[in-house]
Amino acid sequence: MKYRDRMLIKAWEILKKPDARILAIESSCDETAAAVIATGDICLSNIVYSQIDLHKIYGGVVPEIASRAHVEKIGAVVDAALSDAELTFEEMDAIAVTSGPGLVGALLVGVNYAKGLAYSLDKPFIAVNHIEGHICANYLTHQDLAPPYLCLVVSGGHSHLIRVEENDHYRLIGCTQDDAAGEAFDKAARVIGLPYPGGPKLDTAAELGKADRFLLPKPRTQGSYDYSFSGLKTAFINLTHGMVQRDEALPVNDLAASFRKAVVDQLIDKAMKAVKDMGETRLVLAGGVSANSLLRRQIKSVCDEEGIKLYLPELKYCGDNAAMIGAAAFRRLSHLDLADLSLNANPSLRLV
């Protein structure tokens, strides 16, 4: 029997098990990660090796360095995930991996490693879209959460409003017309001299600053649920360069606070407009930027005021990790959506 047919039969059997376990691998950018997930939402182990120290002298992720570091670390990271879960390769029911979007060389390391494991262990192989992973990170914490719901996905490459429909179908409600929110945070951080990774550093500086010190422009977008951050970014760069040219010391904390407020206000305004127009009762956040402290505080208070139930991913599941990939893999498995051993990395894989 062909591998694919054999695996479909195995998948049926796995779905009947009360404690099915997935070994998940994530290597789409600068984190080498592996996790063991049971029954779709129980995290038995979650190992993340961050490459920040390797990239920070360059001020951003260097793709070749990322790929090489994944190759060097992936074996140890997977072994650590199994040993933390006190389980063996043979006790895994399926192998899952992020197949895109991301850096092609980085993705290929995870895809090929996972493929080798699935083949040699003769277990089902599951390909996961990284963005679906970020959304599914919420299932690890909120056992009561199930589609349909509206999700704001904000990461280094995405600022999307996505409706998660029954059967885990995804519908695009709005998205950024230019830069992603995380990208804008990283750029703004660099302009005011904060080191990589800029987003979290800018968030920390902003906690100490005055958000009303600088007025930044609000964007005009085509669709009412779309985002735009490039005009805001340009205005911020011009503001900062003006100060540098006048030899003024940069009020880093106030600049960070003003920029953060402009981004967060826009994220929340559009998301809440969609919530109201679509009659949603729940709002879910996902992606690296959902770790932003102002975003978490402000969206909580707006949702409380409006009577909307808000779901936030735990901080440990906001950034890239493999636990979220395992959670998404379970949903793919439940739809018998298995990957073939011919799976390739797809750097521009779309969810919607």
Binding site for ligand KG4 (CB under 6 A): 29, 134, 155-157, 182, 185-186, 197-200, 203, 287-289, 291-292, 319-320
Q: Which is nearer to ligand KG4, 186 or 226 (CB)?
A: 186
> Among Zn ion, ligand KG4, none, what does residue 203 contact (CB within 5–8 Å per kind)?
ligand KG4
Q: How far is the CB of 113 from ligand KG4 (least distance, A)?
A: 20
320 touches Zn ion by CB under 5 A: yes
Please count the helices (runs of H) and the strands (runs of E) in the chain. Answer: 11, 10
Q: Which is nearer to Zn ion, 34 or 82 (CB)?
A: 34
3-state secondary structure of 29: coil
| Contact assessment for residue 260 and residue 202, using Cβ atoms and an 8 Å cutoff | yes
Q: Which is nearer to ligand KG4, 92 or 99 (CB)?
A: 99
Q: How far is the CB of 157 from ligand KG4 (least distance, A)?
A: 5
Helix (H) or strand (E) holding 23: strand 21-26
For Zn ion, the binding residues in 131-160 under the rule CB under 5 A are 155
Q: Which residues pair with 126 in a beta bridge?
A: 96
Q: How far is the CB of 204 from Zn ion (least distance, A)?
A: 20
**Cα atoms in the Cβ-side hemisphere of radius 13 Å centred on 115:** 16
Q: How far is the CB of 268 from ligand KG4 (least distance, A)?
A: 14
CA–CA distance from 242 to each of 11, 54, 192, 233 (Å)? 60, 32, 12, 14
Q: How far is the CB of 202 from ligand KG4 (least distance, A)?
A: 6
- 300, 320, 317, 319: which is closest to 308 by C-alpha? 300
| Contact assessment for residue 349 and residue 98, using Cβ atoms and an 8 Å cutoff | no
| Contact assessment for residue 196 and residue 245, using Cβ atoms and an 8 Å cutoff | no
> Among ligand KG4, Zn ion, none, what does residue 30 contact (CB within 5–8 Å per kind)?
none
Q: What is the DSSP string of 199-266?
A: HHHHHHHHTTS-TTSS--PPP--SSTT-B--HHHHHHHHHHHHHHHHTTPPP-HHHHHHHHHHHHHHH
Q: Which is nearer to ligand KG4, 124 or 326 (CB)?
A: 326
> Among ligand KG4, Zn ion, none, what does residue 185 contact (CB within 5–8 Å per kind)?
ligand KG4
Q: Which is nearer to ligand KG4, 26 or 93 (CB)?
A: 26
- Of the ranges 40-48, 200-208, 315-323, 330-338, which one interacts with Zn ion (CB under 5 A)? 315-323
Q: How far is the CB of 255 from Zn ion (least distance, A)?
A: 26
C-alpha–C-alpha distance, residues 144 and 132, integer Å: 18
Q: How far is the CB of 206 from Zn ion (least distance, A)?
A: 21
Q: Which is nearer to ligand KG4, 118 or 289 (CB)?
A: 289
183 touches Zn ion by CB under 5 A: no
> Among ligand KG4, Zn ion, none, what does residue 133 contact (CB within 5–8 Å per kind)?
none
Note the residues at the interface with Zn ion (CB under 5 A). Answer: 155, 320
